[in-house]
């Protein structure tokens, strides 16, 4: 119930391509779904987040798509750049629920 599944484990994309990372959850009490970006040796930093009252949220090149009925959400990075190379974690939380992180996706964007 508390687990958040994430795939793929690693992803290699050419510069300018689209990076897509998927997550799924079970706990219907979750109502906040952030994506965190982590560079080596640094703490995770919030990239973008969504609540289940919308199906999509876009901020620049980053888009979250949310499917409430399927209990799935995904991160799309358009026009991927080498500077986007990092580990991405999806997460979920809700009222009375601590943040639960997915296992992470290591993204490499080739120049």
Residue numbers at the binding site for other proteins (CB under 8 A) = 32, 34, 36, 41-46, 49, 89, 91, 93-95, 98-104
Minimum distance between the CB of residue 22 and other proteins, rounded to whole angstroms?
16
Cβ closest to other proteins, residue 11 vs residue 17: 11
Minimum distance between the CB of residue 16 and other proteins, rounded to whole angstroms?
27
Cβ closest to other proteins, residue 91 vs residue 107: 91
- What 3-state class would DSSP assign to 55? coil
Tokens of 47: 């990239």
**Do residues 99 and 91 touch, judged by C-beta distance below 8 A?**
yes
Cβ closest to other proteins, residue 20 vs residue 48: 48
Minimum distance between the CB of residue 52 and other proteins, rounded to whole angstroms?
13
Beta-strand pair 10-14/105-110: parallel
Residue with tokens 């949310």: 66
Minimum distance between the CB of residue 23 and other proteins, rounded to whole angstroms?
12
Cβ closest to other proteins, residue 2 vs residue 67: 2
- Order across the sheet with 4-7: list the strands: 4-7, 19-25, 72-77, 62-67, 56-59
């Amino acid at each position: 119930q508390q687990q958040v599944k994430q795939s793929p484990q690693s992803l290699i994309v050419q510069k300018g391509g689209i990076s897509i990372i998927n997550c799924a959850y079970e706990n219907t009490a979750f109502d906040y779904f952030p994506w965190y970006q982590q560079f080596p040796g640094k703490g995770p930093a919030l990239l973008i987040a969504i609540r289940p009252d919308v199906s999509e949220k876009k901020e620049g090149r980053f888009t979250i798509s949310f499917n409430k009925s399927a209990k799935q959400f995904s991160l799309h990075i358009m026009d991927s750049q080498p500077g986007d190379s990092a580990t991405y974690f999806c997460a979920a939380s809700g009222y009375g629920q601590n943040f639960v992180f997915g296992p992470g996706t290591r993204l490499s964007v080739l120049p």
